[in-house]
Structure 1
C-alpha cells in the first residue's frame, strides 16, 4: 500500500492587537504586504532550523512559479536522534545500520497563496504518512512576524473550522479507521495474518444516487471523541474517522477526527502521481493544491 499523502489548509490573517481589527493583506497594507513577508520568510529559512528538543530539522526550498502572489516549493523535513536497522524488504538482510547522528530527510510540498484584494491568505502544507512539520513552520512564522510587527498578530486557522461552505458540504460516505480491538471472527478472515499486518476499516455509504449521509458539520458533531482518544460507532471504538465530502467539482477524503486525521485534513493519496521514491511528482501535487485552494477560496468568499 502506498504511503498516505495528506494536506492541511490554513486561513491566514492579520489582526491588530489593540482592537482585534482584521487588516487587509495586499500591497500598501498595514503593517505589510503579507506576500512580501511570506516570500522573504521562505528565502531566509533556506538554512536548516534545528528543533533541538524534538530532534527535528526543517528548511525551505522555494521553487519558481508563474502563479500570481504565490510562494511554493518544498519544506525539507529531517528526523534524527535514534538508531535503527535498514533491511531489504524481500531478503530481510541488513543493508545499513542507522546511527543516532544520521538525518533522515523527506520533501514536503507547501504553497502560500496571498490574494491581492482580500483579508486572508490560504496556505497548504503536505504531510507524508502523517509526518508533518507544519507546527514548527507555523510557530516560527508567527514569531518572526510578531517580532517585526509587535502591534499585530498573525493568525493561522484550520479552514475546516472557519469555512461554513465546508460544514454544509454533503457527505457521501464515512470511513472508520483502526479499531481499538478486532474481533476473533474478523481475525479468521485475515487468512492467517495478524491484525497488525492489514488495514481494517469500516465504511458506511449512502445507497441511493444523489443522496448523502449528512453534512460535514453534522458529522463532526455526531461523532465526538471520547476522553480515551477514540470515537464510538456501532459498539466499536475507532482511532480515526474520514468522510467523502463534495468540495467544488470533486469528492475528497476529509479528516473528521484522529491522530493525523484531524478535522480538515485532506487525503490526496489517490489524486497525485508518484515518483519511484513514493513521494508525489512536483507538478502533480502543485496542480492538485492549486485546485483545492481555488475551491476553498471560492467557497469562503461566495
Structure 2
C-alpha cells in the first residue's frame, strides 16, 4: 500500500441521553468540541507511553488556521533492542536498548465547522505505521469523560458504507505486491535487486470509468486470494483504486494490510525531506485540500 497515507475520519456530536445529533455551531453545545480541542492538545504535549502495545506519542501543535487545529504527532515504538549498523562494513553505529524510543513525525489535522453536522480529522501514516488508535481514542475518551450531556463519535470514512466514497467513479485499478523474488518477475530478471516491488494497473479511456466505487470494491475484495489476483505467476496481495473525491482523482486502498481500506495514498503529492519524511508544509497543504474536497462533496463550504 502507500508509503505515505492519510486516514480521514468524521467527527460527530450527539446527546448521551437520546443519541440525537447535535449540530456544530459557534455558540452553545455545538461549540464545545472546538473549544475543547486546544485543551486536549495542550494536555498531550508530554510523551504518553502505552506499555501494553509498546507505543508512545506526543503532540507538537502548529499555529491554528481558522477552525483548523493541526501539528505533528511524534509517534514512537519501543520494547525491543536492536543495533544500528553501517551497511558497508557492519560496524555498529548505535546499540539500541529496549527502553529507547524510536520516534517518527506524523501529521494531524482537526477541522470543526462553525455550522454543520460533522467535522473531520486527518492523520498521516508512514509505511503502514499509524497513530490513529492512540490519538483519536484519547480524544473521544477525554471528551466523553468531560461532558455529561454530549458524546463525540469518531467514524472512519469507509469506502464500503460511506457516501463520501460510495458514489465515486473509479478511473484506475492498481494491484501491487511487495518483495517479489526477482525470478518470479521474468521481465526484470537482469536487474540487480534480489526482490522487487511490483505494481500492475488497469486504466480506462479518457472519458471512461470502471463504475462506481460501491460496485467495484466488493468485487475486488471477493477476488482477493483468487485467480483475479494472480498475473503471470505473481499473486498480488494489495489493491487500490483511483477515484474521484471532489474535483481530484486520488488513490485509495481497497485490500491490503490490516486497517488500510479507505486510506488515501498521498505519496506522490508531498515533498520529502532528506530523511524521507514529508515536509510539514506539503502534507499540511495536501490534507487541507482533501478535507476541502470532502466538505465540497457534502455541501459544506
TM-score if structure 2 supplies the norm length? 0.88
2:197 match: secondary structure: coil
Residue 101 of structure 2: aligned partner: 103
Aligned ranges 1:174-193 → 2 under 5 Å: 174-178=173-177, 186=185, 189-191=188-190
Deviation at 1:292, TM superposition (A): 0.6
Indicate yes or no: 2:242 matched with 1:248.
Answer: no
Kindly tell me the number of residue pairs found equivalent between the two proteins.
294
1:134 paired to 2:128? no
1:234 equivalenced with 2:228 (yes/no): yes
Cα-to-partner distance string for 1:181-204 (whole Å, 9 max, x where unaligned): 879653573337676x21022222
Pair 1:189–1:181, CA change in 2 (3 A):
closer
Task: Tell me the distance in 1 between the aligned counterparts of 2:255 and 2:138.
Answer: 26
CA apart distance, 1:212: 1.0
Q: 2:24, 2:112 within 8 Å by CA — same for their partners in 1?
A: yes
- Seen in structure 2, the aligned counterparts of structure 1 residues 95 and 238 have a Cα distance that, compared at 3 Å, is same
What is the RMSD of the two structures over their aligned residues, measured on CA atoms? Answer: 2.5
2:216 aligned with 1:219, yes or no? yes
Q: Which residue of 2 aligns with 1:39?
A: 38
Q: Which residue of 1 aligns with 2:169?
A: 170
Alignment match, 2:10: 11
Partner of 1:262: 260
Unaligned runs of 5+ in 1: none
Q: 2:58 maps to which residue?
A: 59
Decide whether aligned partners of structure 1 residues 233 and 193 sit closer, same or farther in structure 2, where only a CA change above 3 A counts. farther
Query: How far is the alpha carbon of 1:31 from its aligned partner?
Result: 6.7
Aligned-pair CA distance for 1:6? 0.7
Cα contact 1:26–1:35 (8 A) shared by 2: no
Match in the other structure for 2:297: 299
Residues 31 and 149 of structure 1 are in contact (CA less than 8 Å); yes or no, is this contact kept in structure 2? no
Assess if the C-alpha contact under 8 Å between 1:15 and 1:23 holds in 2. Answer: yes
Shift of 1:90: 4.2
How many angstroms does 1:180 deviate by?
A: 10
Looking at structure 2, the residues matched to 74 and 175 of structure 1 have their Cα atoms a distance apart, in angstroms, of 30
Report whether the alignment pairs 1:284 with 2:282: yes
Name which of structure 1's ranges 244-253 and 44-53 shifts more when overlaid on structure 2.
244-253
Q: TM-score, normalised by structure 1?
A: 0.88
Per the TM alignment, residue 261 of structure 1 is displaced from its structure 2 partner at its CA by: 6.5
Change (3 A) 1:10 1:184: same
**1:186, 1:284 → 2: CA distance?**
35
Q: Does structure 1 conserve the Cα–Cα contact (< 8 Å) formed by 2:5 and 2:265? A: yes
Please give the alpha-carbon distance, in whole angstroms, between the structure 2 residues aligned to 1:128 and 1:212: 30
Alignment partners' CA distance in 2, 1:124 and 1:29: 25
Q: Is the alpha carbon distance of 1:183 and 1:97 closer, same or farther for their aligned partners in structure 2, counting shifts above 3 Å? A: closer
Flag the 1:126–1:262 CA change in 2: closer, same or farther, 3 A.
Answer: same
Distance 1:12 1:188, change over 3 A: same
Closer/same/farther in 2, CA of residues 92 and 174 from structure 1, 3 Å limit: farther
In structure 1, what is the equivalent of residue 22 of structure 2? 23
Q: Report the CA distance between 1:214 and its aligned residue.
A: 2.0
Contact 2:183/2:189 (8 A) holds in 1: no
Change (3 A) 1:81 1:159: same
CA distance in 1 between counterparts of 2:103 and 2:79 reads: 13
SS of the residue aligned with 1:160?
A: coil
